[in-house]
Amino acid sequence: MPELRQNIITRDWVIIATERSKRPDQFARSRPHPIVPAYQDHCPFCLGNEDRTPDEFYRLSDLTGWRVRAVPNKFPALAATGERIRKVEGIHRSMTAVGFHEVIIEHPRHDITTALMDVVDVENILKVYRQRYIKIMQDPRIEAIVIFKNHGEGAGTSLEHPHSQLAATPVVPFQVRARIEEAIRYFDDTGECVFCSTLKDELSSRDRLIYESEYFVAFIPFAALSPFHIWIFPRHHASSFHEITDLEIFDLAVMLKTVLAKLYFGLNNPDFNYSIRSIPLHDRPTDYFHWYIAIVPRVSIPAGFELGSGMYINSAIPEESAKYLREIQIPLDSP
């Protein structure tokens, strides 16, 4: 009998379709990835081609040169200059799309990915995320910041060079607002943060854990939307990513590299997206909202059912997906 599960954080129902469930390894990528060189002449993100990006906002360097750069997106979805102007004309609500849309170039090399980087490289990326977040949150026009990564063509990127993005919007997305309302309601009813309750539950059942570090826990949600949908929660309650300390950044670098390496070796380098979700900027840090990272490998395609209902069909059993990833060993000769 298939099972419906409700995500207590999002209130979304998911169908865990046991009748059509596959073995975890059946979700591994079968198409080979193209082999790419360490440097590409025409790549604007490669070492030596720095003049091909718009003027950079920030760079993190060591003795060897730059390690991570933050630059404007060449085709920004949000304009850096201008005022927030709301228009309401009849039933049309619109607004100038002011904000920031940045690219974080994760590494000087073209042919590397987070799963195979040194921990210090991942640490550098996270430090740049935090630096940009803290800088941008000073801008009073900005209401929400989302940091995200698209890896592979199936995940919506055409650029091979490892990079992530930051989008800072002048509105709070409706979905974020709805989730905050649910989190407040849960807090009213229980006196607890719904994310902290979820974490406590995952640590006690251990059925869906993937990896634990000193400050973070990675697990498959009870009502995962898709196979290998992963959440990484900080153990200590904090509402926004920018509150992360240096010590936590080092720990998160190990965590993120480990989880992405488990996907890389367990599912043959799947296309994936990740995003970092925080409380909107005009809310103060609160007891009821908790920042976290969501990772979604693109191993299934949301289709007409999802379009028509907002519900998902997951053809993998979360406990089995988690066990599979928990047991994936990262090869010793991997960096």
Annotated catalytic residue 282: no
CB atoms within 10 A of CB 17: 16
Residue pointed to by tokens 């026009």: 141
Nearest to 106 by CA among 42, 146, 47: 47
Report the Cα 318 to chain-centroid distance in Å: 19
CB of 327 to a second copy, least distance (A): 24
List, in order, residues 6 or more apart from 140 with CB less than 8 Å away: none
Minimum gap (Å) between residue 323 Cβ and a second copy: 18
- Closest distance between a second copy and the C-beta of residue 154, in Å? 7
55: Cβ contacts below 8 Å, ≥ 6 apart: 71, 72
**What three-state secondary structure class fits 299?**
coil
Tokens of 72: 């404007």
Kindly state the smallest distance separating residue 326's Cβ from a second copy, in Å. 20
Q: Nearest CA to 200 among 296, 328, 290? A: 290
Q: Which of 333, 132, 329 is nearest to 244 (CA)?
A: 132
Give the residue with the Cβ less far from a second copy, 39 or 141.
141
Beta bridge partners of 59: 69
Of the pair 188, 333, the CB lying nearest a second copy is at 188
The DSSP letter of residue 170 is: S
Dist. CA 207–CA 181, nearest whole Å: 29
48 or 82: whose CB is closer to a second copy? 82
With H, G, I as helix, E, B as strand and everything else as coil, classify residue 218.
strand
With contact defined as beta carbons under 8 Å apart, do 271 and 155 qualify?
A: yes
Q: Which is nearer to a second copy, 301 or 332 (CB)?
A: 301
Shortest distance, CB of residue 69 to a second copy, whole angstroms? Answer: 19
Least spacing, CB of residue 233 vs a second copy, in Å: 14
DSSP class of residue 98 equals: B
User: Catalytic one among 101, 107, 161, 163?
Assistant: 163
Q: CA 289 to CA 184: how far, in whole Å?
A: 8
Nearer to a second copy, 28 or 80 (CB): 80
Closest CB to a second copy among residues 49, 197: 197
The catalytic site residues sit at 163
